[in-house]
A and B are shown apart, each in its own frame.
Chain A
Amino acid sequence: QSALTQPRSVSGSPGQSVTISCTGSSSDVGGYNFVSWYQQHPGKAPKLMIYGVTKRPSGVPDRFSGSKSGNTASLTISGLQAEDEADYYCCSYADTYTSWVFGGGTKLTVL
């Protein structure tokens, strides 16, 4: 099954904003509003940060926001903090094989 494409790395200084893109196709990102984003610190399990493209689970700071345009979804983190440094993965439902596909992950470095 096809995978989603993310930049390998992004960086920003404390207080700045960064955006991570996630590009798929009309069979996944573009076709469904089932895009989610996960934060993973080294040696830890992924943590759900955004679901349904734009929704935040309770407890996730409102500095994290999601959006989608066509076949590309985006995660924006505003007011960067040191603890935001982690790997971020996007995920989407894909009608191919009625399954879920993940992006390759983006390493966020807070300078």
Chain B
Amino acid sequence: QVQLVQSGAEVKKPGASVKVSCKASGDTFSSYVMYWVRQAPGQRLEWMGWINAGKGNTKYSQKFQGRVTITRDTSASTAYMELSSLTPEDTAVFYCAILRREAFDIWGQGTLVTVSS
């Protein structure tokens, strides 16, 4: 069973960028569509974007378009999400998740990003 392990918590100042990684176990990384999902305190889950790990193509939510960049390194079985121009409202837990069977089947453990001056 594939597992996703994310990088650790981050504290950033307003205006900075953050890059979160998500490493997949197993040898089928290139077959995945990897999503990034944000969960702000007390808020609903919301998708930010996804990457086809094999082809490398991406799609971003209109809400985050222009601020988010999702990339992958197939040799490391790792996906990355970079969010720029951070504000305190970006304080949240960020999850990577694999879309399979038209559902978010496997989730990383989450990465807390705190934005504070």
Q: Interface of A with B (CB < 8 Å)?
A: 1, 3, 34, 36, 38, 45-48, 51-52, 55, 57, 89, 91, 93, 97-100, 102-105
15 residue pairs of the A-B complex, CB under 8 angstroms, read A1-B62, A34-B102, A36-B102, A36-B103, A38-B45, A45-B95, A45-B108, A45-B110, A46-B95, A48-B104, A51-B103, A91-B103, A97-B62, A100-B47, A102-B47
Q: How far is the CA of A57 from the CA of B104 in the complex (A)?
A: 11
Chain B residues at the A interface, C-beta cutoff of 8 Å: 35, 44-47, 59, 61-62, 95, 97, 101-105, 107-110
Question: Which residues of chain B have C-beta atoms less than 8 A from A51's C-beta?
Answer: 101-103, 105
Known: A51-B101, A51-B102, A52-B101. Contact between A45 and B45, CB under 8 A? no
Contact B107 A91 (CB under 8 A): no
Chain B, interface SS category:
strand
Add 5 more A-B contacts to A46-B107, A48-B107, A102-B46 (CB < 8 A).
A38-B45, A46-B97, A48-B104, A57-B105, A99-B47
State how many angstroms separate the Cβ of B35 from the closest Cβ of chain A. 8
Residues from chain B with a CB closer than 8 A to the CB of A3 are: 44
- Which partner residue on chain B sits nearest A50 by CB separation? B103
- Docked Cα-Cα span, A77 to B46, in Å, equals 25
Partner of A91, one of B45, B61, B95, B109: B45
Q: What separation, in Å, do the CA atoms of A55 and B95 have in the docked complex? A: 23
A47 to B108, CA, bound (A): 10
Among B47, B59, B102, B104, the residue within 8 A (CB) of A46 is B104
Query: In the bound complex, do residue A89 and residue B45 qualify as a contact, i.e. CB atoms below 8 Å apart?
Result: yes
Chain B proximity of A41: nearest CB distance (Å): 12
- The 6 A-B pairs of least Cβ separation, nearest first, read A51-B103, A36-B103, A45-B107, A102-B45, A34-B102, A104-B44
